[in-house]
Structure 1
Amino acid sequence: MEEVKKKIVKMGDEVVQYFLERDGKDISLNIKEDSEHYYLQAKSDVYISEYELEEIFSNYKIHRDLEYDFFWELVGENSEEAELELLFMLADDTKISYEDNILEFNIRVDK
């Protein structure tokens, strides 16, 4: 499997784990592909406190950091919550929304 597809698999795994650790309900994960990008959409009915929501928007909505491309294979090896932050550093674009207890992550990864 090519490297970018392996990244998508790890990202999906980490986002689903994030929801499960917070007792998320109706978790969905959708992955689409076009000629230039992969799109990962994950959402769940989950309660997020104001503090945690602020943490998500300030810490997890991070631009791509090319230095992390060298270490992406280590993501998910120790199941710490910080792994989700690393995944967003690997993404080329991330959009996060939370409305009516639905937390949604939309992640784009360029090929």
Structure 2
Amino acid sequence: MTQPDTLSLTFGALADPTRRAILARLLAGEASVAELAEPFAMTPRAISKHVSVLEAAGLVSRGRDAQRRPSRIRAEPLSEIDDWLTAYRRLWTQRFDNLDRRLARQTKGTPDAETQ
């Protein structure tokens, strides 16, 4: 059985809004499952399952602090998404630059070759 690639695991983990909210909370610092469960109408056990999915995708690591197992965010998988988006970002930038040039020509009253 082949393992899914890390990008697919990351996107799969981020597909759920609860998991995205957990990551947003972890941006403020590490938290236990009980602390992560506070804003949700879910049991700590359900939140723990979400944290496990995030952990499997490499987005979260769990430590041990006495009786507490704090979760903390890991940025590496998010960096991989950013790398993947680079080509698309170039495309968007190019299209926005083209739009800027077109709007500038229209503002100056220069006829647009595409509309003639």
TM-score of the two chains, using structure 2 as the length reference: 0.28
TM-score of the two chains, using structure 1 as the length reference: 0.29
- Structure with bigger strand share is 1
Larger Rg: 2
Higher relative contact order (CA 8 A, sep 6+): 1
